[in-house]
Amino acid sequence: MSKTFCPIPWIMLATRTNGDVRVCCQANQGKAHGLLVGRKGQPYNLMRDKILDSRNAKLACEIRKKMLEGKRHPECVRCWREEDSGMLSRREQELEMWQDIFDINEAKKITRKDGEIPQNLEPIYYDLRLGNLCNLKCRMCFPTDSSGWYDEYYDVYKDNYFYDTHGKVQLISRENKWQARNNDYDWCLKENFWRDLELKIKYIRHIYIVGGEPLLIKRHYDFLEKCLDMGVATNIKLEYNTNITVINDRILQLWSNFKEVRIGASVDAYGRINEYIRYPSQWEVIEKNLKRIDMMEGNVKAWIACTVMIYNVLYLPEFIKWKLESNFQRINPPTRPKPFLTLHPLHTPPYLNIKALPLKAKQEIEKKYLSFCDWYDEYVNQTNPENKERLVRILRQTLKGYINYMNQADWSHELKRFWEITRQLDRLRNQRIEEYLPELYELIKYTEKNV
């Protein structure tokens, strides 16, 4: 099996929340952010460009060429970092997902030596970030991902603008509320985009819908209705990344008609810790909606997508214990490759990356993880002995991967920024890290005085 091939550059169309087209979301860590740029030096953008326009952008061709040569392209650095740490990367997951439909042999058949593919080759896989409209303002987010961040962005950074891949985004105050001057993130409300996408429905096999919070985008409900009207919904797998605070009856009814529905619930911790990170979410609403998803009928796969960062890395054992005790049937079941939680390491902002923790904290976290593995060994021995070897191995490999990633580098110089932003947000949100994350605070409080 190739150690560099990934089907994404051949079969996918992916966007940023501003409508810019990119190779995939993982490539955001690359120097060029994975952006597919046209001849005039501007990123392709679905506000003005057609879906097929970017198929043979220079970067896409370069990446395909490198992959078929067995070489690592630097724009794919996030996957390489994760694989080198022993984590399961997005590349590896996509290889498994598409192995029966599109593999390296198929790629070689249709790809020229310069990496070009037929311009009219329709994407079968879409990763659509439908703007930044969101009802939460998570601590690791930014205005590019959440419109809820506009007001606090000004309070924290004292700037009325920020930068995205398409340039400077000006914020203006209207009726004591901040918003983007040019509606930069409203591209997904434009009919020209939806009409173009609806022409592609018959080719689509998988569509990944993200935001902001995608379930707030009403126009996408009409798109799902169109799939039903055309009689092709049973050919399409839907996948969502959602904060699950706005699950409604209409979306549940629509989902029941599709070939498969995959729901990644963005939840980062249990109870008040999650409320601290994903403000202003309410745990009782999240827990209720998780149970609602778990009881859905039909071909549903669901998982808890947890972003691992400074705020929650110490509390992963408690989160996993809660998940086990909840006895979910569909959400990360024991039969799945990730039977506890679906974990993703936070890469940016760097001041929340777990590499920024001081050495003392890293050592305590490692000790806690190893102790938890011993507890889990005994737990599985009592509850699921027939699968004990596999489940224990997966947990140990997973936690060891995060220990390795955490210890890859010393970014403790970022702690000054960590405390500045944490205290600013605590003040604005009437929260205190000491009250919500007391164990973490005790581990790292001495660093606040030293920065």
Cα separation, 426 vs 414, whole angstroms: 18
Q: What is the pTM of this model?
A: 0.91
3-state secondary structure of 320: helix
Identify whether the C-beta of residue 15 lies closer than 8 Å to the C-beta of residue 147: no
Amino acid 176: pLDDT: 80
For the stretch 181-193, pLDDT in tens is 888 899 999 999 9
State the amino acid at position 340 in one-letter form. Answer: F
- What's the token pair of residue 137? 């303002």
Phi, psi for residue 382 in degrees, rounded to 5 = -90, -30
**Helix and strand counts by DSSP (H, E) for the chain:** 17, 11
Q: What letter does residue 20 receive in the DSSP assignment?
A: B
User: For the chain, what is the radius of gyration of the CA atoms?
Assistant: 22
Which stretches of the chain drop beneath a pLDDT of 70? 450-451
CB 88, CB 22: distance < 8 Å: no
In angstroms, rounded to a whole number, what is the distance separating the alpha carbons of residues 384 and 223? Answer: 42
Distance in angstroms (rounded) separating the CA atoms of residues 431 and 271: 14
Q: Could you give the CA distance from residue 56 to residue 115 in angstroms, rounded to a whole number?
A: 8
pLDDT recorded at residue 451? 55
Query: Tokens standing for 433?
Result: 């890290």
How many CA atoms are closer than 13 Å to the CA of 451, on its beta-carbon side?
19
Give me the count of residues in the chain.
Answer: 451
